[in-house]
Amino acid sequence: MSTLHFDPELLPVDSLGGEDAITPERLMADALRARFLNPPDWVPEITVERLVRPLSRPLMDAAVLLPIILRDDGPTLLFTQRTAHLNAHAGQISFPGGRMETHDASPVDAALRETEEEVGLARRHIDVIGTLPEYHTGTGFRVTPVVGIVQPPFDMQADPYEVAEIFEVPLAFLMNGMHHQRRTAEFVTGNRTFYVMPYERFFIWGATAGMLRNFFHFLRA
């Protein structure tokens, strides 16, 4: 989402998702691979956000990577905090990724390229296991979420222009409906309710949290 004139951290919590947590064994690498190989019948919760403001252009294609890191104490998801000076999404928490370029062969290729450019994680370390449904953001992007498993060790180096910080959140924390808050903000196009997943000093919200909700439903279906 683009920079907005309000602080979502100050908005009151409307409600919680409240669903039971995904059990730890279903978050292991083999179980995740099996889920994408034999996907269940399921319905994503959010695929199209209310626009923040009217668009003067068609939706732009983009892709992000959900990098699941296989740590000894349990899998984590890798995120970036964007630098404060960017014109779009400044300071926000996001997955590595960005808009597709004409030379990208596919959304998967775009997600892997952007990940390498933003955080220095080479694609040879990433085992892509599948994709989630397209997600249309409130700022006019058509995003394909790509899910990949990453086995340490690996090297990373943040692009200082785009990425202020790289961090990880336990996948078990994110795949628990009790950690999924709903908050509402007013835009020129009307009120919009979105998900928020605060973790320590990080505030995951908007499209990133919406894609996480869909991943959560995919795993619990």
Q: Locate tokens 């961090």: which residue? A: 167
* Phi, psi for 45 (deg, rounded to 5): -75, -40
Q: What is the pLDDT of residues 121-145, one digit of tens each?
A: 999 999 999 999 999 998 899 999 9
State how far the alpha carbon of 19 is from the alpha carbons of 22, 145, 166, 174, 221, in Å. Answer: 9, 22, 28, 12, 12
What number is the average pLDDT over the span 41-46?
A: 95
- Which token pair is 137? 């953001």
Residue 91 has pLDDT above 70, yes or no: no
> Which of 200, 213, 170, 185 minimizes the C-alpha distance to 14?
185
| Domain residue extents for the chain | 8-220
Confidence at residue 7, expressed as pLDDT on a 0 to 100 scale: 77
Residue 87 has pLDDT above 70, yes or no: no
Directed axis angle between helix 29-37 and helix 206-220, to 10°? 80
Please count the other Cβ atoms lying within 10 Å of the Cβ belonging to residue 138. Answer: 22
Confidence at residue 188, expressed as pLDDT on a 0 to 100 scale: 75
Confidence at residue 2, expressed as pLDDT on a 0 to 100 scale: 36
* Phi, psi for 133 (deg, rounded to 5): -60, 150
Structurally, what CATH architecture does the domain formed by 8-220 represent?
Alpha-Beta Complex (3.90)
Q: What is the pLDDT of residues 45-70, one digit of tens each?
A: 989 987 877 887 899 999 999 999 99
> Which of 170, 107, 95, 159 minimizes the C-alpha distance to 133?
107
Question: How high is the mean pLDDT of the chain?
Answer: 92
pTM, full prediction: 0.92
